[in-house]
Amino acid sequence: MIAQRLARPLAVAAAVATTTLLLQAAPLAVAEPVPAMAEPSPRELKDQTLAAVNAARAKYGAGPLTWSDDLHPGAEEHAIKCKYEHSASEGKYGEAMYGSSAYTANVGDAVKAWIEQGSAYDYSKPGLQSETRYFSQLVWKSTSKISIAVATCPAGSILPKPMRFFVARFTEAGNMPGQFEENVGRPVT
């Protein structure tokens, strides 16, 4: 798979940060229609999200998250816009995005991409790091709730090919200046 990283600025409360979206393009194939993928039911999406996220968080000593029905409508509205741009959260929630042109992409793929950023996190310099910001939000210990929405986006909206686009929202927001050392745990052995 080809990985592309895009960075754009995001103002969050008193902190200004640069966000990174990991987009994965599936290998090129003979031009065929992209098979329609059935969207998971709301219950399946919730169950898949909590299973993947909580397993990943446990590997870094962070407690489990619960699903937020309050965060979901905003995440869904944002995902179906099919635009890579962060919302103006004003510190009310954290946000992570993932996109893939693989029509089989699922929540587990998004979580895996975010957690893999952890291999580049520099614990000797705790703080916001451009290549690991989704990882640090995912494992942020004081975060307690999550919601993820997924949309199938047309070619040209974000990538040249049709893609699956995931938007996750978290409360309490992570990646807050001065709070990294106590909120981003090292891998648990």
Cα–Cα dist 119/139, whole Å: 13
CA 26 vs CA 1, 3, 20, 30, 103: distances in Å = 6, 9, 19, 12, 9
- Mean residue pLDDT of the chain comes to 84
Q: What is the DSSP string of 31-45?
A: S-PPPP-PPPPHHHH
Could you tell me the two tokens for 51?
Answer: 């299973």
pLDDT tens-digit map of 115-146: 999 999 999 999 999 999 999 999 999 999 99
Q: Going along the chain, which residue ranges are E strands?
A: 2-12, 15-25, 66-67, 94-100, 145-153, 163-171
Q: What is the mean pLDDT of residues 148-165?
A: 93
Cα–Cα dist 5/78, whole Å: 20
Give the pTM.
0.81
Distance of CA 96 to the CA centre of its chain: 3
pLDDT tens-digit map of 101-111: 998 999 999 99
